[in-house]
Amino acid sequence: MSEFYAPVDPDVLRRERAKARELRQSPWPLGRGGRSTRGNVVPSCKTCNTNKKALVPLEWQAYLDRLHASPTD
């Protein structure tokens, strides 16, 4: 198996790392990585964040929908 290496522009990498540092200092917790933008994080209260774990918004909504679905008896 060969390793894949994609060169990264040092300026882009520096900007992304700076944005990540800024986000880590803010109340916006990071879960699954990705680009360091506020659009890539989900604000939530402590209880919801603990229950949500690393689910992305679509997964979290599907989980909530399953919880609130009426049972079919």
- For 26-43, how does the pLDDT look when each residue is reduced to its tens digit (9 = 90+)? 776 666 666 667 776 667
Mapping DSSP onto H, E and C, the string for the chain reads CCCCCCCCCHHHHHHHHHHHHHHHHCCCCCCCCCCCCHHHCCCCCHHHHHHHCCCCHHHHHHHHHHHHCCCCC
The ranges of the chain with pLDDT < 70 are 1-2, 4, 28-36, 40-42, 70-73
Per-domain residue ranges of the chain: 1-41, 43-73
> Does the model's pTM come out above 0.75?
no
